[in-house]
Amino acid sequence: MKKIIGICDLHNDPELGELTAKRPLGSVSFLGRYGLIDFTLSNFSNSNIDRVYILAKNGASRLRKHLGNGAIWTNNTKRGFVGLYLNEKGLANPTFNTDISNIKENLNINDIDFDYAIVAPSYMLASMDFRPIINAHEASEADVTVIYSHVDNADSDFIRCDKLKVSDDGSIAKVSKNLGRSANADISLDTYIISKKAFKKLISDSSKVSELYSIKDMINYYIEDESLIVKGYRFEGYVVPILSLNKYVEHSLDLLNYHIRNKLMLPEWPIYTTTHNTPPALYGRSADVENSFIANGAIIKGRVRNCIISRDVVIEKDADLRNCIIFTHSQIGKGVKMEYVVCDKDAKVSNVEKLIGKEDEIILIDQGARV
């Protein structure tokens, strides 16, 4: 049987301004009940990958709070695990805080018993079964497989992602930065299958090539220097990256659409997440809710349209929310009107009449703020 480890690599996750000032992107709330990292971790679980290494750049305590002991994503809790690794030296020296330095600091690749490692970030939102990809990787005799998607929204949703030129034999001929000059492109999902031998080589070569290089940089390096066979695997499912606050809102609200939701949330592919023993959502007599996700523990007395309401949120009577995302434990007071607002957790909005943002000008209310 093939031995596979999952590496959830958070080092390359983008920053979303204030929203990620105090937490890594992976622990940012999503659809009112998930953390973004849940998708990657559930992809591992559902693909029967029971040994998972999370490489964190920072924010380990926030992540640890979300992850608990990791048992939620683990099948056999004795044999499997979800480990969280942080390069503490890297915190003082962010330039050198790479995924490779994290691995070197915390793990000894030689000692880990595996045939293939899957390296995936948390910002690339998809429900992905790794099993057929591993089979394809094995059959192709590649050292590294880069998972990519052929997209028709490269000019809007995949800016600055890696654009690939894939040869007819499946090998990757060229990598470049996607500047969004055309809508159709093969875009790397920043997700890789790496054979153990290649992984060892990658780690050892990195010291010679550059201390600043990440796993992704090294793979791109091999694509040019051809000392490893790097092939592509075209993933056909729904995928979007979370690259900015505006895109975070746009892609979150997109999922209110049943047809889009059904592409990401697959019936045989549960997304596991930390649970909090919150009671069911409570709707008051004056509740008026349309096209929204409502998480448990929420108390809704006002008007809510095209919104995502998280756990334990209170929406008071006559409040009127459109296209908003409200994080855990925030309260929106009587009569407050809001559009295109992301309200971070524990905030209280009651002293303003109106907060009106736009699709491309999202208003962010900070964690714990009183507005």
Partner 1 sequence: MQTKNKVVAMILAGGKGTRLESLTKKTAKPAVSFAAKYRIIDFPISNCANSGINVVGVLLQYESAELDAYIGNGEKWGLNGIHCLMSTLAPKQTEKGANWYKGTADAITQNIDFLDKANPEYVLILSGDHIYKTSYTQMIQLHESSKADVTISVIEVDPKEASRFGIMAVDKKDRITEFQEKPKVPKSNLASMGVYVFSWKALREYLIRDDKDPESEHDFGKNIIPQMLKDKKKLQAYRFEGYWRDVGTLASLHEANMDIALDKAGLDLYDEDDSNKIYTEDVYSVPQYVGKKGSIRSSIANQGAIILGDVESSVISSGALIESGAKLTRCVVMEGARIRSGAKIHNAIVAPYVDIEEGRQINLGSDEVVLVSK
By CB under 8 A, name the binding residues for partner 1. 31-33, 256, 258, 261, 265, 270-273, 275-277, 279-297, 299, 308
Supply the minimum distance, in Å, between the C-beta of residue 281 and partner 1. Answer: 5
Asked if residues 239 and 189 have their Cβ atoms less than 8 Å apart, the reply is yes
Residue 145 beta carbon to partner 1: minimum distance, rounded to whole angstroms: 29
92/258 with CB nearer partner 1: 258
Of 26 and 297, CB closest to partner 1: 297
Do the beta carbons of residue 300 and residue 281 sit within 8 Å?
yes
Q: How far is the CB of 196 from partner 1 (least distance, A)?
A: 32
Which of 223, 255 has the CB closer to partner 1?
A: 255
Coil, strand, or helix at residue 304?
A: strand
Our CB check for partner 1 shows the closer of 94 and 368 to be 368
Q: Specify the residue, 40 or 97, whose C-beta has the smaller distance to partner 1.
A: 40
215, 192 in Cβ contact below 8 A? Answer: yes
DSSP string, 52-106: EEEEESS-HHHHHHHHTTSGGG-SSTTT-EEEEEE-HHHHH-GGG--HHHHHHHH
Cα separations in angstroms, 131 against 4, 136, 138, 169, 315: 10, 9, 11, 21, 43
Q: In terms of CB distance, is 33 or 163 closer to partner 1?
A: 33
Least Cβ distance, residue 294 to partner 1 (angstroms): 5
Sign of torsion over alpha carbons 165, 155, 220, 43 = negative
CB of 247 to partner 1, least distance (A): 20
Q: Going by DSSP bridges, is the β-strand pair 341-343/325-326 parallel, antiparallel, or unpaired?
A: parallel
Distance CA 167, CA 169 (A): 5
Of the two residues 66 and 163, which places its CB atom closer to partner 1 in the complex?
Answer: 66
CB of residue 3 vs partner 1: minimum separation in angstroms?
26
Residue indicated by tokens 């000059």: 181
Please give the Cα distance from 112 to 84 (Å, whole number).
Answer: 15
Looking at residue 290, its amino acid is E
Residue placing its CB nearer to partner 1 in the complex, 26 or 32 = 32
Phi and psi dihedrals of 207, rounded to 5? -65, -35
CB of 121 to partner 1, least distance (A): 23
Cα distances from 12 to residues 43, 90, 216, in angstroms, run: 18, 14, 9
With H, G, I as helix, E, B as strand and everything else as coil, classify residue 162: strand
Cβ 99 to partner 1, closest distance in Å? 29
